[in-house]
Amino acid sequence: MKYLIIGLGNIGDEYAHTRHNIGFDIIDELALKYKVSFAPDRYAEVAEISLRGRQIFLIKPTTYMNLSGKAVRYWMQKLKLEPENILVLVDDLAIQPGKIRLRGSGSDAGHNGLKSINELLMTQNYPRLRFGIGSNYPKGRQIDFVLGKWNLEEAKEIQPLIHKSVLAIESFVIKGLAATMSEFNK
Active site residue: 17, 20, 111, 163, which one? Answer: 20
Residue 20 bears catalytic tag? yes
Residue-wise pLDDT for 28-75, tens only, equals 999 999 999 999 999 999 999 999 999 999 999 999 999 999 999 999
- The total of structural domains in the chain comes to 1
CB atoms within 10 A of CB 79: 15
* Residue 149 near residue 185, CB atoms below 8 Å: no
Q: For position 180, which CATH number holds? A: 3.40.50.1470
116 lies in which domain range?
Answer: 2-184
- pLDDT of res. 15: 95
Give pTM, 2 decimals.
0.96
* Residue 157 pLDDT > 90: no
DSSP secondary structure letters along 100-153 = EEEES----TT-HHHHHHHHHHT-S-S-EEEEE----S-TT-HHHHHTSBPPHH
